[in-house]
Chains A and B, each alone.
Chain A
Amino acid sequence: MKHTVALLRLGRVSSPVNILNKCTRPVSYRLRRQNYSTHPTNAKLNLPTDYSTTPLLAHGAQQALSNPELPPEAKNGTAKRMNLFQAINDALSTALAEDENVLVFGEDVSFGGVFRCTMKLAENFGGARVFNTPLTEQGIMGFGIGLAAEGMRPVAEIQFADYVYPAFDQLVNEAAKYRYREGTTGRSVGGLTVRMPCGGVGHGALYHSQSPESLFTHIPGLRVIMPRSPLQAKGLLLAAIRSNDPCVFMEPKILYRAAVEQVPTNPYTLPLSKAEILKEGKDVTIISYGQPLYTCDAAIQRAEEDLGISIELIDLRTIYPWDKETIFKSVRKTGRCMVVHESMVNAGVGAEVAAAIQEDPDTFIRLEAPVSRIAGWSTFTPLLYERFNIPDVARIYDGVKKLLEY
């Protein structure tokens, strides 16, 4: 019964406007989709994620408010149940209210956004501060850079991470290098934050599923951030908006509605470039970020049960510049390490993390098995085959076994 509920959530994940279905799909498809993410009847590992019981979300207010990273104002305040898009909306609303230099814009943000992240913001803060732009990603990014270079704090939205490429020149050559090339003039575009929904949703195919984070991690000057939950999204997004470095903020869109937890109602930030240990363990370290953390958690539960081991789970949170020390410390303890991400394995975040681990002399000598990467295959995200492409519980579970058997 529980699984059926979770399945419905997964199916409705995109938005009430249900953008993906509105795009191209005929009605017949939507009817057939009822069976779409059904798991095989005998499956023991690849069961749908149950977000209502996962320990990665704060299901009670007390749990949320006792988060040790929260400032006293947030701890002593109240908490409210929010899903990811509501938490993003809460962070944007807070940022707009506390700083008149904050502006929110992009394609279709004015009516609330195709994923509902900007609901009521135009009404509450005025069309001059929350507005639609023409449909041009390079224009959105260039416009945001100009705003930030003149002291504003623009929060630009790219409707899907899949469509950020027209803005790549502006991100790589302009946003990232602005402070550096300005030198002693002191100008920068540190006020810029770029939000973009990313990751698979089960039926996003080639252009509504991508996670291009590793392309950004090759760009010094940018901070690349991906939250896994509503509580994190609010704190990290506020930190990104207040940060004086340009930030790329990637939102796993499958979690917009699916991930629901108690979120402190007062403003707070969570630290950037700091990883979070979600679960301590002594035999294996698993490093991930964003949605796959839930898959990792399910795999860990089964592996610990079946194999009698304990696994440490770490959320990178900021993918670049990333928190090497926390990862090194963990791997020195466990001696075995796996990196999990949705995007392609080739030159992905896993490659950077694995290389850094083997390059660190103190960590390298503690390795008892090669660092493994469980990630998307080196292809695209094809419509029908997503379930075979994105790392699932079975692949992670099997990866843990292989690490132990080495």
Chain B
Amino acid sequence: MRAGILSKSSLQRALRSTPHRSRSSGFQNTAIRFASSISQRPGASHVSFPGAVKSVFTSDLKFALPSDHPALPTYRVVDQDGNIVDSSFKPDLSNEEVVKLYKDMLTVSIMDPVMFDAQRQGRISFYMVSAGEEAISVGSASALNREDVVFCQYREQGIFAQRGFTLKDFTDQLFANKHDRGKGRNMPVHYGSKELNIHTISSPLATQIPHASGAAYALKMQRINDPSLPPRVVAVYFGEGAASEGDFHAALNIAATRSCPVIFICRNNGYSISTPTLEQYRGDGIASRGIGYGIDTVRVDGNDIWAVREVTKKAKEMALQDGGKPVLIEAMSYRVSHHSTSDDSFAYRARVEVEDWKRRDNPIARLRKYMEANGFWDESKEKDARESIRRAVLKAFSEAEREKKPPIRTMFEDVYEDLTPDLKAQMEQLRQHLEKYPDEYDVTEFEGGIDSLKAQKP
């Protein structure tokens, strides 16, 4: 991208005036490596080039082949039938807590088809379901504290549900009514919450991944400045398709070099819209890349909520070690649903493949089997739970639909901290226009109608 910048002599000159090591504690990676300290010793068996200091010399010309490396294993705790397969596993949640997580997953999976149909009827403009991936979001969220900061892609409704986003919160956003935190500016499913420490979702893929690295560095610095703060991590979610973006590369590399306490959680569900993983990458999934960045990595069965929870718990612990470091989790699953309401996935994959996945393995059924095997769930509880959740979803739905939209003025606010003179003038222009052509616009659904555009007294 650019020419080399510094000559060796100027670099040495510069290094002479730079401190060897950062004064702040908790920064293992800030030491500056001097060219002189790593020069080649005579007869050394290791290469001492600055770029790879522990590489052994070899006289055997051999390329490293991806095929020489077996695929990283996928960790699971509970098999498809709900039986525990990790003998060292000890459930750390009460039955009530497990039921709560189960209901969080159910809530998402019941809300999804209702909203999908609402979009089909034209009552909301867009929707994305997360069928088949409920355990990844709910399971990982259950291993974090609410103070831990989360960045989402868009298929992580389960995190919101687990953290306490209510059905009203969901439906207010979907209908973009006046209670929507995003003030009716974002497409449906672009949720966000300050209280729950989840940043608002944006559509561009992977942009949130380096945000998470930066936010993690912020948390680390804030704790250095004020040690009374609790140790916190950042979790960031993205699909395997988003991992092809440059931002993924930038984020992992910068998190590793700056030792940021961030957990990267990739939902590898086999497809990005119509593109199967064979056209997305040729390596061993996303997990194999973590090692290349010097990041501790694990692959987990995303249909096993216990396994997701266990790896996230462990990842959080690791992320806070040694002053902070990044961890990568690749959670394997299958996108049972269409990509979104704008997609018919049977245009690019067989219906039978989807049906197979639904029947053979599904995170909700797997946890249900576990709960039933352990004697704290049964058919009648299942029926009651499903019915009460469905009633609550429909109630929130009809209430949110009836609410007014935010004031039209909202469209001009929050571009800057304060309205600029230009924006004030444009707001006035719009007001005059709406008054001049009252029959051309329906403003009645917006709180305050045209009046919200009037200049407000300071």
> Which A residues have a C-beta under 8 Å from some C-beta of B?
17, 19, 22-24, 100-101, 103, 108, 110-112, 114, 122-123, 126-129, 131, 133-136, 138-152, 154, 159-160, 163, 166, 169-170, 173-174, 177, 179-188, 190, 207, 220-221, 223, 244-245, 273, 321, 324-325
Contact = CB atoms under 8 A, between A and B. Distances in A.
Contact of B247 (A139, A163, A181): A139
Interface-centre pick from A24, A126, A159, A221 (highest chain B CB count, 10 A): A126
Contacts of B10: 17, 22
B420 A321 contact: yes
A134 B254 contact: yes
B19 A127 contact: yes
B6 to A, nearest CB: 6
Interface in B284-343: none
A330 B211 CA distance: 44
A324 B251 CA distance: 40
Interface string B71-98: 0000000000000000000000000000
A101 B27 CA distance: 17
Contacts of B216: 146
Nearest to B194: A185
Given A22-B10, A126-B24, A139-B253, A114 B5 contact: yes
B251 A152 contact: no
A190 B417 contact: yes
Contact of A146 (B2, B183, B193, B215): B215
Interface string B123-145: 00000000000000000000000
A151 B192 CA distance: 17
Interface stretch (B199-207, B365-373, B375-383, B391-399): B199-207
B202 A173 contact: yes
A243 to B, nearest CB: 8
Interface-centre pick from A101, A111, A136, A181 (highest chain B CB count, 10 A): A181
A394 to B, nearest CB: 33
Contact of B254 (A123, A133, A174, A220): A133
A174 B207 contact: yes
A142 B210 CA distance: 5
B181 A128 contact: no
A136 B4 contact: no
Interface of B: 1-7, 10, 14-15, 17-19, 21-24, 26-27, 30, 32, 149, 151, 180-183, 185-186, 190, 192-194, 199-200, 202, 204, 207, 209-219, 221-222, 224-225, 234, 246-247, 249-251, 253-254, 257-258, 414-417, 420-422
A255 B298 CA distance: 51
B417 A244 contact: yes
A196 B232 CA distance: 32
A143 B192 contact: no
B284 to A, nearest CB: 24
Contacts of A100: 225
A274 to B, nearest CB: 11
Nearest to B173: A183
Nearest to A273: B420
Contacts of A140: 254
A181 B215 contact: no
A127 B30 contact: yes
A169 B215 contact: no
Interface-centre pick from B14, B193, B212, B218 (highest chain A CB count, 10 A): B218
Contacts of B186: 181
Given A23-B3, A24-B3, A138 B210 contact: yes
Given A127-B19, A143-B211, A179-B417, 4 more contacts: A17-B14, A108-B6, A163-B2, A174-B207
A173 B190 CA distance: 14
Contacts of A123: 17-19
Contacts of A122: 18-19
A24 B416 CA distance: 42
A186 B417 CA distance: 10
A114 B6 CA distance: 9
Nearest to A147: B214
A100 B223 CA distance: 12
A22 B22 contact: no
A123 B32 CA distance: 12
Contact of A150 (B218, B246, B422): B218
Nearest to A223: B416
Contact of B221 (A23, A152, A180): A152
